[in-house]
Amino acid sequence: MNIIPLGIWGGYPKANSATSSFLLEHDDFHCLVDCGSGVLASLQNYIALDQLDAVVISHYHADHIADIGSLQYSRLIQYYLGHPSPALPIYGHAKDEEQFAKLTYKEQTHGIEISEEHSVQIGPFTVSFCPTVHPVYCLAMKFTVADKSVVFTADTEWADQLVSFAKNTDLLISEANLYEEHIGKSPGHLAGSQAGKLASEANAGQLVLTHLPHHGDLQDILQAAQTTFAGIAEIAEVGKFYSL
């Protein structure tokens, strides 16, 4: 399994970049995790759009779904050009019925409901979910292939249930949108020390930080994570292949 960061920013992308999103590859199956602003442009550095096999959405804030419409339109254009593809499955929760309905578009994409109660099989991946603590309903995700797993916290502040959910994962990809001085002042997000604590208590093999802020020195967030996690920790690097 390869995990490739496509974007690392929270809220909105910096110039020539994208919001937090990842491409998962295994046995020629390509799955996109979140599809915010700039993600579609970044994705095409690695695969053609018609090679995408599935999309999984953690929640419906704009920095996680902004490019869904463009993705749908790209498939419609190919249909008009005489290159139709099967409907692309887009997985998302149905707690927000209006936003979930938008995942289905003509014959180009098809929304499939996910929930914290059930795991789903998406190509080679067994995917399970855990609710996070965020201003809107949001799901963390665990992708498992054979005996390897990667956990995405999605957007969240500290949540005890994430420790058991991420237990013994090979790779924990955690949001780290806050500097230490902002803990408790910005709801729904983690600081570096909290991401490190989560990785440590879950006994994760490696920690990768994403959904980063646009201000300050990101090395401060990494250093805070390293004070609470003794394993390998790093800032997500766009285009790097994390292989399990």
Q: What's the pLDDT tens digit per position in 85-112?
A: 999 999 999 999 999 999 999 999 999 9
Q: Is the pLDDT of residue 146 over 90?
A: yes
**What's the mean pLDDT in 67-83?**
97
Name the domain count of the chain: 1
- Contact at 8 Å (CB) between 148 and 1? yes
Residues spanned by the domain of 93:
1-241
**What's the mean pLDDT in 178-195?**
95
In which band, very low, low, confident or very high, does the pLDDT at 185 lie, cut at 50, 70 and 90?
confident
**Which tokens belong to 160?**
């005890």
**What's the mean pLDDT in 110-115?**
98
CATH (domain of 182)? 3.60.15.10
Q: What's the pLDDT tens digit per position in 8-65?
A: 999 999 999 999 999 999 999 999 999 999 999 999 999 999 999 999 999 999 999 9
- What contacts 48, CB < 8 A, 6 or more positions away? none
Burial 158-195 (b: 16+ CB within 10 A, else e): bbeebbebbeebbbbbbbbbbbeeebeeeebbbbbbbb
Torsion of CA 27, 65, 14, 228, to 10 degrees: -70
pLDDT at 39: 98
Q: Is 199 left (phi over 0), alpha (psi -120 to 50) or beta?
A: alpha
Q: Is the pLDDT of residue 153 over 90?
A: yes
| Average pLDDT in the chain | 97
pLDDT at 186: 84
Collapsing DSSP to helix, strand or coil, 180 comes out as helix
In which band, very low, low, confident or very high, does the pLDDT at 159 lie, cut at 50, 70 and 90?
very high
CA separation for the pair 242, 149 (Å, rounded):
12
**What's the mean pLDDT in 163-175?**
98
Q: Which residue is it, tokens 């490190």?
A: 196
pLDDT at 184: 85
CA separation for the pair 52, 82 (Å, rounded):
18
- Contact at 8 Å (CB) between 33 and 58? yes
Q: Is the pLDDT of residue 72 over 90?
A: yes
